[in-house]
């Protein structure tokens, strides 16, 4: 595996989202005024506005002016997606690419803990040579961004954490699927963590505690505490009731008769 580093340029996917955020924020005051005018007029479910030099001008109902929306300089206001961010994104001309990038970044965040587990399992088993001084979490995040960027270039109808994880397996050319990785990690969790520690490999600082652990597990705090007390959920990874996100996600993926829609996206 090629060496990764935290130094260097910002990843292009992150840069795309940051740039979109900055451009969108410039238009948010005007977008708010347009939304207010749309509701004040209450002429239609969706209105069309013309935009010039960052200023929106009400034109009329979509049924009369919708044909203009395929041209630059016109935006849709109203309907289900009538938030300021959506309207500002249309004004900035970043709505489509920006929304896709945001979704991919969210999918990368969702996949990262299971990629932590993947790296930990394959390194402890001797299938992966750890040739970087970074933590498990740092390398996993870098790889998830690379996988998400590949999905941006070759888009799919829907993208979730499972897609980022699957694309990463293609990139690496080896590794178990997420469910198998979760089972292997949970079965030998202490042994794997000890093997990494013995090799001088740090896991990383990001953990969840108490209510955060329960939220990540998709259950109420009282339910999570009961599961842990009964041994139905993994015990803490670190003192003070702290769990690695990988441990929580692996547990969720291996729970019988429980939907994994959060993973599929």
The pLDDT, as a whole number, for residue 250 is 97
What's the mean pLDDT in 219-234?
A: 94
The pLDDT, as a whole number, for residue 3 is 44
Q: Which of 120, 113, 168, 116 is nearest to 146 (CA)?
A: 168
Express as a percent the part of the chain with pLDDT over 70.
94
Task: Express each pLDDT in 158-214 by its tens digit.
Answer: 789 999 999 999 999 999 999 999 999 999 999 999 999 999 999 999 899 989 999
Say what the pTM is: 0.76
DSSP reduced 3-state for 13: helix
**Quick check: 149 and 12 in contact, CB under 8 A?**
yes
The pLDDT-based confidence of 1 (bands split at 50, 70, 90) is: very low
Answer whether residue 237 shows pLDDT above 60. yes
d(CA 165, CA 263): 10
Q: Which of 257, 254, 258, 244 is nearest to 116 (CA)?
A: 244
**Quick check: 49 and 77 in contact, CB under 8 A?**
yes
Q: Which of 3, 264, 261 is nearest to 132 (CA)?
A: 3
């Amino acid at each position: 595996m090629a060496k990764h580093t935290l130094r260097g340029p910002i990843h292009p996917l992150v840069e795309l989202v940051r740039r979109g955020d900055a451009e969108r924020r410039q238009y948010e005051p005007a977008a708010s005024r347009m939304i207010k005018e749309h509701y004040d007029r209450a002429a239609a479910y969706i209105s069309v506005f013309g935009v010039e030099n960052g200023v929106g001008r009400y034109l009329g109902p979509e049924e009369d002016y919708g044909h203009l929306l395929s041209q630059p300089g016109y935006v849709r206001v109203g309907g289900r997606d009538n938030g300021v961010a959506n309207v500002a994104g249309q004004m900035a001309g970043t709505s489509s690419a920006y929304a896709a990038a945001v979704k991919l970044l969210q999918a990368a965040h969702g996949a990262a803990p299971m990629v932590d587990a993947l790296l930990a399992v394959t390194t402890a088993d001797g299938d992966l040579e750890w040739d970087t001084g970074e933590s498990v979490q740092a390398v996993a995040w870098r790889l998830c961004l690379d996988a998400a960027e590949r999905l941006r270039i070759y888009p799919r109808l829907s993208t979730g954490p499972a897609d980022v994880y699957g694309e990463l397996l293609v990139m690496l050319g080896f590794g178990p699927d997420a469910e198998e990785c979760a089972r292997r990690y949970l079965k030998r969790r202490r042994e794997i963590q000890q093997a990494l520690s013995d090799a001088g490999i740090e896991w990383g600082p990001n953990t969840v505690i108490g209510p955060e652990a329960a939220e990540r597990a998709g259950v109420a705090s009282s339910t999570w505490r009961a599961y842990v007390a009964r041994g139905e959920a993994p015990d803490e990874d670190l003192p003070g009731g702290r769990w690695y996100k990988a441990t929580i996600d692996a547990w969720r993926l291996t729970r019988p008769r429980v939907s994994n829609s959060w993973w599929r996206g």
